[in-house]
Amino acid sequence: MNMIDAGPAACSTALSFSVCVECCNDRNPAALPIFQGAVYGCACSDCYSLCSATVCDTGVSRPSGGCLMCVTQAGDTPGCSSRYGNCATDVTCAPYLDCIKTCK
């Protein structure tokens, strides 16, 4: 029998949004500081209460599920009008953004 290893399961198969985010964080560590810079404006204005400990105030670039859920669902307010900044066009950050967009 010839078995092919398909690799790890997609993060989107995680049981919760937060677990999916942690999976994306683990698989894209180089993207985290870039993503932190890209979402800082939105995360640290409209989503401050959920992002202060994981993006805004600690120097940690490992956003929590609650923080990312807020950023993802934020309206087009002045702080969040360009919520993902340049992440979508950055070769290191784009795969991370694609991953978190699959989280449910």
pLDDT score of 97: 93
**Model confidence over 56-100: pLDDT tens digits?**
987 777 888 899 889 888 877 777 877 888 888 999 999 999 999
- Between 16 and 4, name the one with better pLDDT: 16
Q: Diameter of the chain by CA atoms?
A: 58
Nearest CA to 23 out of 7, 45, 39, 34 is that of: 7
- 85 membership: H or E segment, kind and range: none
Q: Look up the pTM and report it.
A: 0.81
C-alpha to C-alpha distances, 14 to 7, 8, 23, 39, nearest whole angstrom: 15, 12, 8, 23
